Amino acid sequence: MITGARLRAALRGTLTGGTQDQKLGSFLGVFTPSILTILGVILFLRTGWVVGTVGLIPTLVIVVIANVVTLVTALSVSAVVTNMRIGKGGAYYVISRSLGIEVGAAIGVPLYLAMTFSVTLYAFGLAESISVVWANAPQRPIAAVTILVVGLLAARGAGAALRLQLPIMAGIILSLIALLIGTLENATGDAAMFSTPPAGANFWAVFAVFFPAVTGIMAGISLSGDLEKPGRAIPKGTIAAVLVGFAVYATVPILLAAAVPQAELVSNNLVWFDLAGPLSFLILWGLWGAIFASAVGSILAAPRTLEAMVDDRILPPVLATRSRLIKGPGVPLLISIVLALGGVALGDLDAIAPLLTMFFLTTYGTVNLVAGLEALSGDPSYRPTFRLPWWVSIGGAFACFSVMFLINPLALLVALVFEAGLYVFMRRRAMTAPWGDLRRGALMSLVRSTAIKLYRLPEDPRNWRPNILLFAGDVDRRSELVRYAAWLAQERGILTVVKLLVGSIDVLAVDRADEAAALQRDLDELGVVAFPEVNIVTDFESGAIAVAQSNGIAGIESNTVMFGWSDKRERQISILTVIEQLAALGKSAVVARVVGRHWNGRRGDIHVWWGGLEQNGDLLVLLAHLVSLDPTWRDSNIVINSIATNDVTNVQNKQLLDQLCSSARIKATTNTILKPEGMTVRQMICEVSKDAGVVLLGLRGNEPGEEAEYAERMGALIEGLPTVLFVRNAGIFRGELLGETTEDSSTEKDWEQDVIPADSDQ
């Protein structure tokens, strides 16, 4: 309740420390500018036309729909502002602190332009209305003088400018009383209330004309930086303005329909003057006052939005320079005045008026979206004192964007393209805001919901994706290893790059954050999209096993671990030991020996060596296919090689591999080779694949204690070869990843013992 003491406090403002700007309350700082913008020129000049065009009942439907949209927006604003400390900038501040600085700029810049050029539109409206008493009034000079006058008022400070609006409010009240008296004296049986409107009237076209009348709530919200307690003042003032505006707009059509014939309502925009009779001067007072007040509200709001964007470094700092001669934003006010005067020089602004309406409505829709997403995100920090169900706000956002389409689809398209361009520009600037926003909370809520659903869905080979956990070590030194991991994941799976710090947590904990930041920078420089992770472990083997087991969340755990091959025998043994342990847990493995090589244009082909006994073949072929999808390998062919010791198995291998490629829909060349006498399998592999771009070989399991011998054989095999990827398929879908059981060990028994690392898939 607004008491007399509070009203007096609002009128005189509250000085803080004697040096701060005057702080306003809910009545003068929010309600007054909002209601005076709502009760503007459309109330006086277009309401009668709406009634005469579609009839009384459809008009009331229009009023209800329009005010419901505005009321929901006011409620959404109330929910958001009671959850945060509101600074200057009003709607821009709310949006930027909730959806990020990029979205804030994309909405804030158009909102500023809309408010600035609204001053010009109101000034022209005032100039046109003066023609009631001055038939040939020069409109451009009057509009320019109007802008200068409201600019001078704004330069005196928000409090001074808003106090002058109280007589205007009194004039509007008196004009409504004059209308009521005129209705009671002139009620007639042939009034519009008792007649049928002409057929064929376009309801939504008329709605488009009326709707801007109720879009004035941002006038008060934009003064948030001048409010003493914005978290309390904005909800009270905004909701009160919407409800009072609804009451007025629901009453005026009834009064006009009861006293004026339908044809006159359509043809006479000045019907209020005729109806008021001797009290018509009160109508003029209310009309001029409403237009003037709307201009004042816009000239106060626009510079503050501009200043807020400058404070956030969206615009150059010079634009926020203040002056001792101007109370409030100095240079932003002067810029706004110059732009508004520039609009006068352009003359007719009717062409851009629909675009300005789109900018306003985009703001309203986005504010509703913010409130809905805040409620949906479930962030513990979202604790508004004014609570609103999420579906109400989301419904308000949908209604705003629907209204935009109904009003002017072309203007909507232009507005969206302009705002999208601003968003892309801000994204390319890569600005980092010092505040958090709801995006992380909203995404977290979505991830949680999706992860729960994903966990409850049964796994299937057709949905398998390579979720790779790469133990990369020094990424800066092993950049090519990281690239191969990214090619294998191919943006279809999840790549996590891990760095293990071996030692004590007490000693290394202080370095962990810096190491993680450095790892992220290295990945960014490589252009690799991956999750960086730094873990402190007591030793490599137990640490790698623990990290691999704990990586991910239910439903999206890592299913493949990847290591770079080491030159040190001790580390080679550790890698093979870890792989064997993780295979028992159902995790596949890739060991990469990367050879730096300069390619002139096209890289070499992707060679796969198909065996059979270890059921690695399907994963080998699938990973080769994923590598080939990257643009780096677009000109490389997949070649599936197989060795046989006799003609029968050679033919069988050829038929098997051709059938495999056909049924798996993988474009590859098959190459079956009959093993010559006196030539080892290692020699054959080196001879065939020495010029390949990358070679994929199977990796068999080994018994404890065999790791050193196995590592030696692997080292011997890769001599003379380019980059080699050893692949161990230990997942739950072994042999099924290509859509069918693809292994047939009978074709390889004859040459298993000749494979250097004792691996049948090589």
User: Which range, of 8-17, 157-166, 351-360, 432-441, averages the lowest pLDDT?
Assistant: 8-17
Cβ pair 738, 637 in contact under 8 A: no
Average pLDDT value over all residues in the chain: 81
Sheet holding 723-728, edge to edge: 531-537, 495-502, 468-471, 560-564, 588-593, 723-728, 694-698, 606-610, 638-644, 669-674
**Closest-CA residue to 115 (of 389, 298, 310):** 298
Secondary structure of the chain: what % helix, strand, coil (to 5)? 60, 10, 30
Q: Which CATH superfamily is domain 463-586 in?
A: HUPs (3.40.50.620)
Confidence of residue 188 (pLDDT cuts 50, 70, 90): low
pLDDT in tens, 19-34: 344 577 888 888 988 8
The average pLDDT across 619-640 equals: 87
* Residue 497: strand pairing partners: 470, 532
CA-derived radius of gyration, the chain: 37
**Would you give the distance in Å from CA 43 to the centre of its chain?**
37
* Average pLDDT estimate for 187-193: 59
CA gap 23, 157 in Å, rounded:
10
CATH number of 27-429: 1.20.1740.10
Query: Are 90 and 222 in contact, with CB atoms under 8 Å apart?
Result: yes
234-243, 269-278, 427-436, 513-522: which range is least confident on average? Answer: 427-436
Considering only 67-71, 507-511, 736-740, which range has the smallest mean pLDDT? 736-740
Nearest one of 80, 366, 74 to 216, comparing CA atoms: 74
Which of 14-28, 123-137, 265-279, 486-500 comes out lowest in average pLDDT? 14-28
Q: What is the pTM of this model?
A: 0.70
Q: Fold for domain 595-762?
A: Rossmann fold (3.40.50)
The two tokens of residue 37 are 């913008």
* Start-to-end C-alpha separation, the chain: 84
Q: Predicted confidence band at 748 (pLDDT cuts at 50, 70, 90)?
A: very low
Q: What is the pLDDT of residue 305?
A: 87
Calpha distance 263→558 (Å, rounded) = 74
How many other CB atoms are found less than 10 A from the CB of residue 264?
16
Do the domains at 27-429 and 595-762 have one common CATH topology?
no
Torsion angle of C-alpha atoms 450, 453, 459, 461, degrees rounded to 10: -50
Confidence band, pLDDT 50/70/90 cuts, at residue 612: low
Amino acid 696: pLDDT? 92
| pLDDT tops 90 at residue 634 | no
- Give per-residue pLDDT as tens, 416-472: 898 888 888 888 776 666 666 667 777 777 788 888 888 888 777 777 888 999 998
- Least Cα distance to 149 among 170, 171, 180, 126 occurs for 126
Q: Per the structure block, which two tokens stand in for 686?
A: 């080196």
Q: Which pLDDT does position 448 carry in this prediction?
A: 80
Give the mean model confidence (pLDDT) for residues 341-350. Answer: 77
| pLDDT of 228 over the 90 cut | no
Q: Is the pLDDT of residue 194 over 80?
A: no
Q: What are the structural domain ranges in the chain?
A: 27-429, 463-586, 595-762
| Burial class of 535 by CB neighbour count within 10 A (0 to 12, 13 to 18, 19+) | buried
| Confidence at residue 20, expressed as pLDDT on a 0 to 100 scale | 41
Q: Is the dihedral of CA 688, 689, 695, 701 positive or negative?
A: positive
Most confident of 87-101, 298-312, 425-439: 298-312
- pLDDT tens-place string over residues 513-547: 888 899 899 998 888 888 999 999 999 999 999 99
Amino acid at 669: T
Neighbouring residues of 657: CB distance < 8 A, sequence distance ≥ 6: 610, 640, 642, 670, 672
Quick check: 111 pLDDT over 50? yes
Q: Which of the four pLDDT bands, split at 50, 70 and 90, describes residue 319?
A: low
The string of pLDDT tens digits covering residues 673-712 is 888 887 788 888 888 888 888 999 988 887 788 888 888 8
